[in-house]
Structure 1
Amino acid sequence: MPIVPDGPAYGGDQDDHRGAARLSGPLFREQPPQARPYDTPQARPHRAAPQNPEPMPDAPQPAPQPQKKSAGRDLSAAIGVAFGLGVVIIASLFVVKAVFVGVVAVAVVVGVWELARRLRERKGINVPVVPLAVGGAAMVVAGYVRGAEGAWVAMALTALAVLGWRMTEPPEGYLKDVTAGIFAAFYVPFLATFVAMMLAAEDGAWRVLTFLVLTVVSDTGAYAVGWRFGRTKLAPRISPGKTREGMLGGIGFAMACGALCMQFLIDHGTWWQGLILGLAVAVSATLGDLGESMIKRDLGIKDMGTLLPGHGGIMDRLDSLLPTAPVVWLLLVLFVGQG
C-alpha cells in the first residue's frame, strides 16, 4: 500500500498556505533582503558536489522483464513417474486382472498410511493404521470377487476393527481417532473398490482404462486451458490455481474423449453416452481435487507425501480418481449393464 503523506509537500503551488501567514499589504511592504557577509563569489563556502546524483526524472528506465509461468514442480520427474506408473497399470490391467487388483490394494495401503501419518503429525489424531491397511486391502479384493455386497460387508468389518483396535489405548481422544479412522476407510479403500468392481466385468479392462483415461484427460485439459487462458478463479480460498476457464476446458476435453471411448472401447456403448460420462467425470474429478485441497489446507501441508517425485504422494494422485470411480461405475452399469 503506498504511503500517503499527511499533508501536501511544500513547493510550487502547494506553498500558498504558507504565504497566507505572511503579513502583506500597503502597511507591511517587504524589505529588500540584507546582504550577507559571504554573499560574494569569493566568500561563499565551497560545497562538494554530490557523489551519487539522482537520475533525471525523464531518464528512460529499463523495461521489466516478463515473468514466465511455471508449473511449480519438477516437470521432467513428473513425466517420468507418470510414464512408469502408466506402464505398470496397463501391463497389469491387460495381462492378469488379479495383478491389477494387487496394484490397487497396494495403492490403498500406501494412501491410508500417508493420510494417517499426516493426521498424526498435524492434528495429533492417532488413526489405527493396521486395521485400516488390512481391511482396506480386503475391501478391494471383496469388491472384485463379490461386487458391491462384498465391498459393503468389508467396509462394515473394517469400521468395527478400527473401533476395537483403538480400545487398546487410553480413552483420551478415542472419538476423534475412530472418527478419522472410519473416514479414512471410506475415503480411500471403499471408493477404490469401485475400480475393482469395474474390472470384474467381461470387458472390465476396457472399462477401467476408460475411467483412467477420462480422469487424466480431464485433469490435463483443465490444467492446460487454465494455464494458458485462465483468468477467473474457481475456488480461490481452496485452490487458487484453479480457474473457471480451466474447468470448462477440462469438461470439453473429457466429453470429447468420453464420446470416443464409449463408441470404440465399451461394448454396446454409444457416443452420446460418452458425452454424459465425460461431463460427469470432469465434475467429479474437479470436486475430488478440491476436496483433497481442502484437507491439505486444513492440515497446513502442500503434499500428502514424497513417494512420487514431481507428484507428491500416492494420495496426491488419487485425489481425483477416488471420487470419480463410483460415478463411472454407476453410469457404465446404467448404460451397458454390469457385464
Structure 2
Amino acid sequence: MSPSNFSIRPPAWEGLEPAIPGWEVASKDIAFQIAKVVGSEGKFWAAKFGDVVSDRMFRLDEPDGRKFIFKILEDSEVCQSEEAEKASAWLASNKVPVVVASGQYRLPSGEVIVKMPYLEGRRVGLAVDELFAFGVSLAKLHKALRNVPHRERWRLRTAQRLKALSKTRQYIVSSGVELGPYPQRLLNLANDAELDFERSQWFTQPLHGDVNPGNVLILNNTPVFMDFEDTAHSVLPVEYEVLFAIERFVLVRVDNDLEASRLGKAFLHGYRSQIKTELQSVYIEPVQVLRSLALRSLMVLVNGELSGSKVLESEWKKFFFLEKMSRYRAEVILNIFKD
C-alpha cells in the first residue's frame, strides 16, 4: 500500500499533559540568524522540554519589554501554517479571542520561521466556573467558524483526509499487517464495526481541530485559542470537538468520577448556553465517538509509519490509552450528557 500524501506532525510534547517549556539561552549562531532575518534585537532563548533543548522553538525578549515566540517549520508544515494564519487572522477580525502570527520569514537555510506574540497566560483550571467559561468560548468559536471564507476548500481537504485514513484502516483489516507496538490491538480496533470516524450523515462545519489544554490560554479571565494548524482539515461534526474537549480537559486530568462528571457538565452547560440546537447526536453514542476518534488518530500514526516517519512509542500508547479510557469511564461520559 502506498501511504497517503499527508504528513504526520511531530508531537509538541509526549503524553497527554501539555508540557510547559523552560528556557535557556539560545546559541549565538541561531540567535544571529533569526535576528538578522526578522530585524529584531534582544535576548534569544531556546525552549526546553525536560532535558531536551528545542531547535525549533525560540523566544525573543526585546529591550522595550515585548516578547515573541519564533517557530521554525518543517517543509511539510508550511502550508498548514499558512492556512492556520488565514483562520486565526479572520477570527481575530471578527473579535474572536485568538493568537495571530505577526510575520513569516525565511532563514538563510531556506527554512520558514513564524513569529507570534508571547503571552503570559495560564491553562484552563479544574474549576466549575473556568470550565463553564471555556464551554461558552468554544461555542462562540464554533459559531464564528461556520462563516469562515475558506470553509468549502477545507471541507474538500477534510473529505480527502478521511478517505485516506479509511483506506489505511481497510488495508490493515485486509492485509493483517503488523504495525506499531501493539499490532493485535490495532487490528482489533480497525475491525470494530461500531467505530466510525467519518460520520458522513452528521452535520459538519470547520472546527479548531486540536482543542487540547496546550492550545487554550486564560488571559484576563478570557479563554484565548491558538495553533489552528489542524483547522484546514477539520470540517467535522461539532460533537467531535465537544467530546474531545471533555476528554482532554476533564477525563484525563480528573480521576474522581463524581468530580469529572461535575466539571464535564459545567463545560457542557457553558457550551449549550450559546448553542442550543446542536449536539443531538452526541447523546446517542458519546463513548463510541471518543473511541472512533482514538482509532482515527491511530490511523494517522499508521500512515506515518507506512510513509517512513518515526512514530514515538509514547504516541501509540497515548491513543490506545484514550480508547481504553473511553470504555472504562463510559458511565462518567454518559452521565455528563444526562440532564
TM-score normalised according to structure 1 size:
0.26
Q: Which has the higher contact order (CA 8 A, sep 6+)?
A: 2
**Structure with the higher strand share, 1 or 2:** 2
- Higher radius of gyration, 1 or 2: 1
Q: From the two aligned structures, give the one with the greater helix fraction.
A: 1
